[in-house]
A and B are shown apart, each in its own frame.
Chain A
Amino acid sequence: MANSTPSAERIARFEAIVVPHLDAAYNLARWMTRNASDGEDVAQEAMLRAFRFFDGFRGDDGRVWLLTIVRNTYLTWVRRQIPQQNSAEFDERLHTDIETAFTPESDLLRKATGEQVRRAIGNLPAEYREVILMREIEQMSYKEIAAITQSPLGTVMSRLSRGRSMLRQLIAGERRAEVKVHG
């Protein structure tokens, strides 16, 4: 198949369909790995994979296809990391009461700084972080997120719901800690 498509034409198609989503790919890789250098590694690896497997791309949505590859590349990358880094990312015990905790006031959430929001997202477990990013930054539909994460729609919905609930608590927690220190 690769041979039937002239090289220049293939490159032009890749540039038209996949390359425009480089920022989305980098953004997801950067958020998932939580640092710039690993983000670049994962994004680059994903772009190279995308290029290699481009002949197998039959759909019309280059962004969904590319982000699926980024996510898989990230999962491969994360498995290679030292185990402590993964297990240390979120302590479930501290957040078991999220659903029953009081709802943070809207004002409290609105006053959060960009820095606090970024830190809170970074502290979310990966499976919640990814759906939040795809929804809030990429404005993807549930269907697209389900395609990328290869999970049922119901799972996407419950992860978004639970992820936002955690996020809200994390941000509110930061704000309250700040009030305690300064007030």
Chain B
Amino acid sequence: MANHAQQNLLHAYLDDELDLVRSMELEDHLAECGDCAHEVASYRALHETMQAANLRYEAPADFRSRLEGELHKEATPEIQPVVVRRVIPWWSWAAVAACLLLTAAAFLVNLSDRGEKRLMAEVVSDHVRSLMAGHITDVVSTDQHTVKPWFTGRLDFSPQVRDLSADGIELVGGRLEYLDGHNAAAIVYQKRKHVINVFTWPSAGGDEEPSVSAQQGFNLLAWREGGMYYCAVSDLNRQELTEFVGMLRK
């Protein structure tokens, strides 16, 4: 093939990737060399056949919607600093353990029932799973009038969602927690880069003032009000978390 055009050049010519001079040289050659002209015609035919074959696969609609969901989950945790996000599984265990302790303390009398204890443990594991999966919110909105109605029809109670933007607290969204046929709500707020989770579910018993606790640098406030149990967890300092709960209960 010494006298024939290089194969690479033929393809570059067909793909319009040759500069003008080399392109003209090649055309001169094709005018004289039947073999190379034949080769070019054959590859043109191949190209046309491929274009006619409609080779493109389009992303199916169900794939697109699934991907949207995955990206959504991916998008939510980024409201937190990267460091916090990485630490979440570890923190969450501490937070959850502390929360469970508080819950147990608050319900010490009522919780004599083993079934209810098991239910609480289930709440915890449900919550931890959601955090570990990076699944912080089901509904993302800074608008309480979006977040609160979102729970309607999903829960048999209406969780409290407050607009505290005037106080520097941003509403991030909400999340459902499922446990043994019972539902709970998690309302997610943010102060600066600190995420605050407020867990709430209906609970029998009289009102109780918030009790503070700390677990490995994590602060928790738990209280009972109007037949609902609340537990706020954050890496905010104790004073700020207490102020936050104060605003929430105003």
Residues in chain A within 8 A of chain B (CB atoms)? 2-3, 7, 10-11, 22-23, 25-27, 30-31, 36, 39-40, 43-44, 47-48, 51-52, 99, 103-107, 109-110, 112-114, 117-118, 121, 133, 135-137, 141-142, 154, 157-158, 160-162, 164-165, 167-168, 171
Q: Of all chain A residues, which has the CB nearest B51?
A: A136
Q: Which of A11, A36, A161 contacts B75 (CB 8 A)?
A: A11
Let me know if B17 is at the binding interface, CB within 8 A: yes
A51 to B72 Cα, complex, angstroms = 10
The residues of B that contact A161 with a CB separation of less than 8 Å are: 7-8, 10-11
How far in angstroms is the closest Cβ of chain A from B81?
6
* Bound complex: CA A75 to CA B74 (Å): 23
Contact A141 B44 (CB under 8 A): no
A7-B75, A51-B74, A164-B43 known; A136+B50 contact, CB < 8 A: yes
Q: Is the interface of B mostly helix, strand, loop or mixed?
A: helix
Is B74's CB under 8 angstroms from A52's CB? yes
Q: Quick one: closest A residue to B12, CB to CB?
A: A157
**Total of A-B residue pairs, C-beta within 8 Å:** 115
- Cα distance, A51 to B134, chains bound together (Å): 14
Would A39 and B57 count as touching, CB distance under 8 A?
yes
**Contact A171–B74 (Cβ < 8 Å):** no
Q: Pick the interface stretch among B61-69, B105-113, B199-207, B212-220.
A: B61-69
Where chain A touches its partner, the secondary structure class is helix
Residues of A within 8 A of B60 (CB): 36, 40
Partner of B57, one of A11, A27, A106, A168: A27
User: Which A residues are in CB contact (< 8 Å) with B70?
Assistant: 44, 47-48
Find out whether the CB atom of A160 lies under 8 angstroms from the CB atom of B15: yes
28 A-B pairs whose Cβ atoms sit less than 8 Å apart in the complex:
A23-B56, A25-B59, A40-B63, A43-B59, A43-B63, A47-B70, A48-B74, A51-B71, A99-B7, A106-B42, A106-B44, A106-B45, A107-B45, A109-B45, A109-B46, A112-B53, A114-B53, A121-B55, A136-B51, A137-B55, A154-B8, A158-B8, A161-B8, A161-B10, A161-B11, A168-B43, A171-B46, A171-B49
Question: Hey, which chain A residues are within 8 Å of B78, CB to CB?
Answer: 2, 7, 10
Q: How far is the CB of A129 from chain B (nearest CB, A)?
A: 11
